[in-house]
Structures are given as C-alpha cells and as structure tokens.
C-alpha cells in the first residue's frame, strides 16, 4: 500500500506542533537532517527530533544527509526515529554497513539513500542485510523546492526489480519534486512511499493535498 510522508523541511518551524497536526492524515512524517558537510545546508538535529517524537506518535522517517553517519545513529535512534536512512555516498561501504549494524543494535528500521548520480546497482550488496527501505532522490539533496528529475525514473524501476528479487519486504521511497503528476510517474516506476514537502505544506489544506497524491498515484 502506498504511503505518503510529508517532509517537515517545508513546515513553519515557529509552530511545528500545529504543522504536524496539519498532516496527521499522512502515513509517515519525513524528517530531513542536514549537516552542512555532506550537503551544503544545515537543517535540524537530535533535540528537534526528540521534540517531534514527544509531540506525535506518527512514524518518523529520518533521512540523514550527514557525513560518516554511523557516529550519529545511536543519538537519533534514542531521540525517537522509527527508521533511519543513510546515504551510500556519505561513507565507505564499510562505514555504511557499520551504520546499518548500529540501526539493528538500536532497534530501528534501516534504509539507504541514493543521490541522482548513484546507479541503481549500488543497492545490490546491501539488500542482503534485510533493508527496510531504499530512498531514491529525484533532486540533489540539500534543499527543498527543486524540480523532479525525470531521468531518475529508469533507476526507480531498476531498484524496484532488485528489491522484488532480493528483499521483497523492503519499501522503495522517492523524494524530490513530488506533486500530483510526478507522484503518478514515481508509483508507475515502482515507488511505494512518496515524500512531499512544498506540494503538501504549500497547499491551502494539506490533508486534501495528501489525499490528492494518493488518488493521483492510484489512477
């Protein structure tokens, strides 16, 4: 079943609790963590995640856009993440495996993320570790409001095939430039989790925008 995950990167942080309430009809809440090193921007950290966790029981899908992420896994897990996702490009293969092992040790679901420059085949060695999620970025990570990169659709389809063959319980998430039309394209290519920021928080009624994404993707 398709899941919609609004990104709080597009929320008004002066009233974050209310902004979470506005998207409570969604399935997950997507939390983007940026360190200013792996990506050229800084967003939020452990204290904000802990506050979000204390406010809501929604599933917290935490996307770590940080360099050498293994060192941060315990803190974000203890702050309340339900799923942590790390970038393959953020460390060596050994470092990525260590991050995944720490997720297992802390009882959180584990995911890997791919920038647009990274090929679909890069996921293959990690699927045997029982991934819960693969995230394909359809924009360059680091900033919200970018346009969907159509040339990522074949990669989404390829990763879907690898997941179905080697780790069928794993979900395939797409993040970047998601709106009604691109949602349909992403789902047709194989996505079953959609992250949307401005398309939801920029709508007059976020709940209606969430439902519109679900409806568009089904048609």
Which parts of the chain fold into alpha helices (H)? 16-22, 46-55, 73-79, 93-105, 124-127, 153-166, 180-189, 198-201, 206-218
Nearest partner of 40 among 126, 125, 135, 142, judged by Cα: 142
Whether residue 32 lies in the annotated active site: yes
Q: Cβ–Cβ contacts within 10 Å for residue 184, how many? A: 16
C-alpha to C-alpha distance for 168 and 161, rounded to whole angstroms: 9
Record the tokens describing residue 96, joined without a space: 């990525």
61, 132, 175, 192: the active-site residue: 175
Q: Which regions of 20-73 does DSSP assign to beta strands (E)?
A: 28-34, 59-65
C-alpha to C-alpha distance for 103 and 100, rounded to whole angstroms: 5
C-alpha to C-alpha distance for 215 and 22, rounded to whole angstroms: 19
Sign of CA dihedral 76, 38, 69, 5: positive
32, 35, 91, 192: the active-site residue: 32
Whether residue 27 lies in the annotated active site: no
By annotation, the residues acting in catalysis are: 32, 175
């Amino acid at each position: 079943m398709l899941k919609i995950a609004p990104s709080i990167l597009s929320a008004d942080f002066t009233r974050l609790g209310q902004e979470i309430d506005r998207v409570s009809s969604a399935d997950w809440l997507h939390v983007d963590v940026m360190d200013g090193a792996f990506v050229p921007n800084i967003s939020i950290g452990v204290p904000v995640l802990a506050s979000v966790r204390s406010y809501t029981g929604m599933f917290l899908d935490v996307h770590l856009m940080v360099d050498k992420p293994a060192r941060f896994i315990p803190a974000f897990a203890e702050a309340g993440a339900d799923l942590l996702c790390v970038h393959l490009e953020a460390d060596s293969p050994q470092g990525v495996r260590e991050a995944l092992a720490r997720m297992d040790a802390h009882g959180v679901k584990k995911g890997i993320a791919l920038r647009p420059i990274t090929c679909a085949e890069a996921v293959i060695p990690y699927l045997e570790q029982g991934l819960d999620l693969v995230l394909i970025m359809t924009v360059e990570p680091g900033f919200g409001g970018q346009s969907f990169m159509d040339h990522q659709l074949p990669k989404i389809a390829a990763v879907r095939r690898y997941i179905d063959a080697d780790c069928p319980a794993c979900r395939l998430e797409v993040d970047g430039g998601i709106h009604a039309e691109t949602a349909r394209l992403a789902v047709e290519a194989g996505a079953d989790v959609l992250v949307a920021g401005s398309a939801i928080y920029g709508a007059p009624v976020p709940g209606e925008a969430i439902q519109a994404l679900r409806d568009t993707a089904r048609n």
